């Protein structure tokens, strides 16, 4: 897929997942070879918000995408829009359509990454 085709295919998508899959799934909980997912959700024509997740069983921030304990963060709250649970309320990272196209292109060249569009 060339750049033009890629931008065309991203034109109407609502969500793009860029997954990083572990080589050895038996190590994906605490063995050092983790699954990661970055979900890019469209918030306007040219802007996507990112939410990260992992299979690792350690404290992980879904907003910043790093291993950290959000409970010690000032942006952490017990409630979020009436939902039960604890949530990091830091502002999600915003990514432009052009940047997302670049990330999808890069992921396509990485054998451990899988891109899903929907």
Going by C-alpha positions, the residue among 47, 62, 53 that lies closest to residue 94 is 47
| Interacting residue ranges for Zn ion, rule: CB under 5 A | 61, 63, 70, 88
- State which residue has the least CB distance to Zn ion: 88
Neighbours of 78 (CB within 10 A): 9
Token pair, residue 78, equals: 């017990």
CB of 76 to Zn ion, least distance (A): 6
Q: Which is nearer to Zn ion, 9 or 54 (CB)?
A: 54
**Straight-line distance from the first to the last Cα atom of the chain, in angstroms, rounded to the nearest whole number:** 17
CB of 64 to Zn ion, least distance (A): 6
Q: Which is nearer to Zn ion, 56 or 104 (CB)?
A: 56
């Amino acid at each position: 897929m060339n750049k033009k085709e890629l931008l065309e295919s991203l034109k109407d998508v609502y969500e793009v997942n860029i997954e990083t899959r572990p080589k050895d799934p038996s190590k994906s909980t605490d063995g050092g070879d983790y699954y990661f997912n970055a979900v890019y959700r469209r918030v306007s024509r040219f802007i996507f918000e990112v939410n990260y997740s992992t299979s690792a069983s350690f404290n992980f921030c879904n907003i910043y995408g790093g291993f950290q304990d959000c409970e010690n963060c000032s942006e952490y709250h017990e409630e979020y829009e009436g939902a039960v649970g604890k949530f990091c309320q830091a502002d999600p990272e915003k990514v432009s359509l052009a940047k997302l196209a670049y990330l999808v292109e890069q992921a396509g060249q990485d054998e451990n990454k899988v891109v899903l569009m929907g």
